[in-house]
Structure 1
Amino acid sequence: MKKFTKLTLATLITVTTAMSFIGCSNNKEVKKDTTTNSASGIKSISTKDLKDKLGNKDWVIVDTRSNDAFNGWKLDAVVRGGHIKGATDFSANWLKVEDKEKDKILEKALKTKNILGDKNVVLCDANGKDTQAVAAYLKQKGIINIYTYDVKQWAADNSLPMESYANYQMLVPPSFVNDLVNGKKPETYTNDKYKIFEVAWGEASKDKDYVKGHIKGAVHINTDEIESAPLWSINSDAALQTFAEKNGLTPDTTIVLYGPDPMASFRIAAIAKYIGVKDVRVLNGGTAAFRNAGYETETISNAKKPVSSFGASVPVNKGYIIDINSAKEILADKASSKLVDIRSWDEYTGKISGYSDLKFMGRPAGSTWGHAGSDANHLQDYRNIDNTMRNKDEILAMWKEQGITPDQRLSFFCGSGWRAAEVLTYADVMGLKNISLYSNGWYEWSSSPKNPIEKGEPKTK
């Protein structure tokens, strides 16, 4: 089922341009332990002074590296992965994205992350380049109290707090994939067999991105292999086992998924984990991330290499994808569970169905809006402008406004499971435990008058 266009970051906060602030008292405090980069005119800050500024409302610590490094990967010779605890993110990679709405999107990000003109902003990187690119951008926006810091210094001191996402390894950087296909053993990979799949709707010969160039050895997966019209319901367990065997999947084979629109990759990732594949990875940022990293691709079409048996009884992780009866049980448990709607606000409130082939509008009665994007093809509320996973703290804050908390039993749904599968994976990356996907979602729920429906704004969160 075709469901994608280019994704961009969106937040619910309207940006206002902050007045630049010059000569605050905190600047005087750090003068004694800073040096100036003569090329840029920007001061660097020492580890000691940076430690003192953590938690100070006048100071913002900003990680300008790739979001993979922020999430937990040990990139650019950093000995401890992740970010300085308390730091936010504004990756230099975002400045390279070509999007007609880029400036508007990035200004919203600055507001959301409190990177404003009246703050002292410490930019962190590990290569000496990312901070300079972001600093130049911030200066254009009237933010002038800028300092730089080499995060390798912080990472080298085990007494200083750093934060990595609990399952950061589920979202891999382009370097992980490139190392893998070139016979190396990238960080967190301890297996001796892997498969790489480019995932999109349609056959490989009609997939322009696959034909144009794909990762070495990548096999194409057509999403029609796992779902069926007219409700685009997930196929039966027996059919999913056949799908796995056709594509050569086994519980012990590491799989890496990517595509031109990452949403399709997450759809297959959720199903792979459900049937029992132990090590499922998704390329953070999709096809564009790999190409932008400058790695080589190939145009040869790679055939599927089936196996005679999946090697386990499907599904191994039965509770990871739930049916409509379980969804109703979650709705009935108002005290500790939430059925979370990952659709646009207009879909949730019943103004539109969201799909050209679906006339019914509304939501399952009692479900909770979990944010999504502008329409059924977008998921801006969960992504940065380069289609990487959004900051964990921002996702949790967004959920908290709707009464969604990590300690609850959460099951995510959308129209037919695509958007919700991506959010499920992000929840998994963040370390949430009691999570699942109601894959058949609004298509299935709205198909029967026996299932209660609501429209309009909810009375309570």
Structure 2
Amino acid sequence: MRKISKLLGVVLALSLSTSVLSACGGKQEAKNTDEIKTISTKDLKDKVGKSDWVIVDTRENDAFNGWKLDGVKRGGHIKGATDFSAAWLKVDNKNKDKTLEEALKTKGISPEKNVVLYDANGKDGKEVADYLSQKGYKNIYSYDVKDWAKDETLPIEAYVNYQMLVPASWVKDLIDGKKPENYNGKEYKVFEVSWGEEKDSPDYLKEGHIKGAVHINTDEVEEGPLWNRLSDDKLQKFAESNGITVDTTTVLYGADSMAAYRVAAILKYIGVKDVRVLNGGTAKWKTAGYDLEKTSNKKTAIASFGAKVPANKDYIIDLPQAKEIIADKQGSRLVDIRSWDEHIGKTSGYDYIKPMGRPAGSVWGHAGSDNSSLEHYRNIDNTMRNKDEIIDMWKEWGITPQQRLSFFCGTGWRAAEVLLYADVMGLKNISLYDGGWNEWSGNTGNPANPIETGEPKKQQ
């Protein structure tokens, strides 16, 4: 992050046996209680929403969000299901065991419940079943979600704008000249985004990048000392110098996706209609086994962006609008996407910002443990956390999807990612307060912008 220093073993083969359920939904029976039991679509319908059952989507996060992967007829997840992806078991993370345990608890997945694990490839569910079995889970059932998806009468939930977060396979199909789902066939551009010049970017030349990708240095869209976005004229020139028009399908990614989300928010602000971010960043591309190239791809400029900038001006707001939002105590929230210690004034979070605290009247929207993390919004593989958990997290501080919400952080990176997640979820009246804490605090303290410190009372 700019200026801020930023399965398991062999899967056991599990044999499947058919469970027999009584007509009244009673006792489950199987040939061998140590084997995973299957459950039919008819019986699964009756179990959704029951307190002693939990339905778990074990596929990639992209499928849960809405993409039609592995041959499913309808994208998205069974309405009422939670997620625990088999991909999470493969993540190399020193805190993986603890993080996964916390995820199980948050999602209500426990040994006392009947746990239905569904997938569409016949593999993901088995991997999660093996993981749970090692933890003592006994009542595990398998299900093929393709059966659910082909029945149009059964409810499936896909996020309103799921297409904004794309799977690695979608990007691969795009650059291979295919026409992947939800692509209009117009000109596209792929960009690796990080702070620093191309020659200094380890994620572009040294480690390699997606074939054809061009490097974007975040200094192309923002400047100090506030690190706000550039002027509208300069942003238009930025788009044109990178060959981006209002109609270009623009795909952004990075080793740390935060930079990609920062640029994505700015592109949406200036008016690019089709902005995509690779869900999970570079790591997802590598995990899929796709090749990287280490050659330099130069920018190809164009003469005109094709629209007056900004074409979507309410997507990013400034200090006057932030104050208006704070003044509207009922219908609006200025949401702080910083760590708890930053919010209460224990630290500023930045070596170049001196004041500590928060804008008086703002509310905490969670983030992570420090100024470079967003673990409260991300799964362990850095994909988007599920919508219901994000909304439940907000409720604690009086934040609801129906309000006018503007997200801020120190200088706009963390908040930009949360803004895009809110957009994926389908929230309407949302924006990024670009100046964030850096602007509000005036760096040395500004009496015109009141500051609070200490632990706030939760708003209801």
Aligned to 2:133, which of 139, 144, 152? 139
* 1:167-224 superposed Cα distances (whole Å, 9 cap, x missing partner): 0000000011000000000000013200000000111111112112111110000001
8 A contact 1:324–1:445 mirrored in 2: yes
Identity %: 68
8 A contact 1:399–1:405 mirrored in 2: yes
8 A contact 2:25–2:43 mirrored in 1: no
Are residues 1:262 and 2:257 paired? yes
TM, length-normalised to structure 1 = 0.93
Q: What is the Cα deviation at residue 35 of structure 1? A: 7.9
Query: In 2 relative to 1, CA 35–52 (structure 1 residues): closer, same or farther, beyond 3 Å?
Result: farther
> 2:101 is matched with which residue?
107
Partner-residue secondary structure (3-state), 1:260: coil
Which structure would you say has the larger RCO, counting Cα contacts within 8 Å and 6 or more residues apart?
Answer: 1
Aligned to 2:381, which of 386, 403, 419? 386
Query: In 2 relative to 1, CA 201–53 (structure 1 residues): closer, same or farther, beyond 3 Å?
Result: same
TM, length-normalised to structure 2 = 0.93
8 A contact 2:280–2:381 mirrored in 1: yes
Partner-residue secondary structure (3-state), 2:192: strand
Are residues 1:375 and 2:370 paired? yes
Q: What is the Cα deviation at residue 293 of structure 1? A: 0.6
Q: What is the Cα deviation at residue 241 of structure 1? A: 1.0
Alignment partners' CA distance in 2, 1:30 and 1:85? 24
Partner-residue secondary structure (3-state), 1:380: coil
8 A contact 1:4–1:261 mirrored in 2: no
> 2:344 is matched with which residue?
349
Q: What is the Cα deviation at residue 36 of structure 1? A: 7.3
> 2:90 is matched with which residue?
96
> 2:72 is matched with which residue?
78
The one-letter code sitting in structure 2 at the alignment partner of 1:381 is: H
The one-letter code sitting in structure 2 at the alignment partner of 1:459 is: K
Q: What is the Cα deviation at residue 26 of structure 1? A: 12
Alignment partners' CA distance in 1, 2:458 and 2:177? 54
Alignment partners' CA distance in 2, 1:91 and 1:421? 25
8 A contact 1:320–1:435 mirrored in 2: yes
Are residues 1:238 and 2:233 paired? yes
* 1:305-347 superposed Cα distances (whole Å, 9 cap, x missing partner): 1111111111000100001000000000111000000000000
> 1:305 is matched with which residue?
300
Can you give the 5+ residue segments of structure 1 that lack an aligned partner in the other structure? 6-24
8 A contact 2:365–2:394 mirrored in 1: yes
Alignment partners' CA distance in 1, 2:38 and 2:458? 48
Partner-residue secondary structure (3-state), 1:271: helix
Partner-residue secondary structure (3-state), 1:132: helix
> 2:17 is matched with which residue?
none
The one-letter code sitting in structure 1 at the alignment partner of 2:456 is: P
Alignment partners' CA distance in 2, 1:35 and 1:306? 66
8 A contact 1:35–1:45 mirrored in 2: no
Aligned to 2:194, which of 193, 196, 200? 200
> 1:12 is matched with which residue?
none
Alignment partners' CA distance in 2, 1:4 and 1:101? 20
* 1:2-42 superposed Cα distances (whole Å, 9 cap, x missing partner): 3464xxxxxxxxxxxxxxxxxxx99983636x7879xx821
Alignment partners' CA distance in 2, 1:223 and 1:419? 14
> 2:456 is matched with which residue?
458
> 1:164 is matched with which residue?
158
Partner-residue secondary structure (3-state), 1:256: strand
Are residues 1:437 and 2:438 paired? no
Q: What is the Cα deviation at residue 300 of structure 1? A: 1.0
Partner-residue secondary structure (3-state), 2:216: strand
The one-letter code sitting in structure 2 at the alignment partner of 1:204 is: E
Matches within 5 A, 1:281-430: 281-430=276-425
> 2:10 is matched with which residue?
none
Q: What is the Cα deviation at residue 137 of structure 1? A: 0.6
Are residues 1:51 and 2:48 paired? no
Partner-residue secondary structure (3-state), 2:28: helix
Q: What is the Cα deviation at residue 94 of structure 1? A: 0.3
Alignment partners' CA distance in 2, 1:126 and 1:372? 32
Are residues 1:2 and 2:3 paired? yes
8 A contact 2:333–2:405 mirrored in 1: yes
The one-letter code sitting in structure 1 at the alignment partner of 2:398 is: G
Q: What is the Cα deviation at residue 459 of structure 1? A: 3.1
Aligned to 1:151, which of 141, 145, 149? 145
Alignment partners' CA distance in 1, 2:275 and 2:211? 18
Q: What is the Cα deviation at residue 437 of structure 1? A: 0.4
Alignment partners' CA distance in 2, 1:409 and 1:56? 34
Alignment partners' CA distance in 2, 1:230 and 1:268? 18
Alignment partners' CA distance in 1, 2:32 and 2:159? 33
> 2:18 is matched with which residue?
none
The one-letter code sitting in structure 2 at the alignment partner of 1:29 is: G
Query: In 2 relative to 1, CA 303–161 (structure 1 residues): closer, same or farther, beyond 3 Å?
Result: same
RMSD over aligned CA atoms reads 1.7
